[in-house]
Amino acid sequence: MLEVRSVSKHFGGAEVVSNVSLGVGQGAIAGLIGPNGAGKTTLFNLIAGSFAPSSGDILLEGAAITREAAHRRLKRGLGRTFQIPKPFAEMTLIENMLAAAQGQRGESLFANWLTPRRVAAEERANAEKAMAHLEFLGLARLAREPARVLSGGQRKLLELGRVLMADPRIILLDEPGAGVNPALLDTIIDRVIEINRRGITFLIIEHNMDLVARLCGHVFVLAAGCMLFEGTPSEVVRNPEVIDAYLGTGST
């Protein structure tokens, strides 16, 4: 599904991602862990198209997407969430969801004039889809509330919903567990498993190893921009180099 081949990224003289390769198979839930500053978010930015790599290649379902813009990658089915979700605070949840729907005809002035019924039908279908996702995520009762009322964990769920509006085939999930209370964390884990059952692949950045162990079959460990180790969650937590990398930076 996703292949990263020998990707590096320099910022000025600093190489923050060094010759990293990884592969995520169709239908997998893979983890990406590493101490603070290891380069995980930068790697997500490279995969999602926020940055271009200095060298190397990125392939999605066999197609080279290395130089493609982020919105083109999204159209191909590559969705991503951010470490700190930033919904439109004054817009309702349903409006936030609808704003994330892709390629709506109603955005075109001419479509509104020439095919108003088709535009209206599409808007109805998107609204139904948005409501169904909000129900699935346990947010339906808040659908008409402004997003500013949401807790940190609910914001993570809304962001997942916004990504689902684009019908992704793979989702890059950035720290789904950060700042989330334990009850909501279980909901997030449950929903990710359910979405994965529908055939959607995940690559997840996460510091919470319990969450990683519950979700991920395979884990990649980055340290100082390099791929340090990969294996099952239990192999990862027992690996001396991985333990050293974490202890060396004082991270947990």
Ligand X SMILES: Nc1ncnc2c1ncn2[C@@H]1O[C@H](COP(=O)(O)OP(=O)(O)OP(=O)(O)O)[C@@H](O)[C@H]1O
Contact set with ligand X (CB under 6 A)? 11, 16, 34, 36-42
Compute the Cα dihedral for 125, 130, 136, 141 and give only its sign: negative
Helix 116-136 vs helix 152-164: crossing angle, to nearest 10 = 140
Whole-angstrom Cα distance, residue 83 to residue 41?
Answer: 8
Nearer to ligand X, 1 or 43 (CB): 43
Give Cβ neighbours of residue 204 (< 8 Å, ≥ 6 apart). Answer: 29, 30, 31, 32, 172, 173, 176, 192, 212, 215, 216
As measured in angstroms, the least distance from the Cβ of 231 to ligand X is 19
Nearer to ligand X, 170 or 245 (CB): 245
Beta strands in the chain (DSSP E): 2-11, 14-24, 29-33, 55-60, 63-64, 78-80, 170-174, 201-205, 218-223, 226-231
As measured in angstroms, the least distance from the Cβ of 7 to ligand X is 13
As measured in angstroms, the least distance from the Cβ of 87 to ligand X is 20
Nearer to ligand X, 26 or 36 (CB): 36
Nearer to ligand X, 70 or 99 (CB): 70
As measured in angstroms, the least distance from the Cβ of 131 to ligand X is 33
Using DSSP, state whether 158 is helix, strand or coil. helix
Beta strands in 184-225 (DSSP E): 201-205, 218-223
As measured in angstroms, the least distance from the Cβ of 133 to ligand X is 27
Nearer to ligand X, 36 or 234 (CB): 36
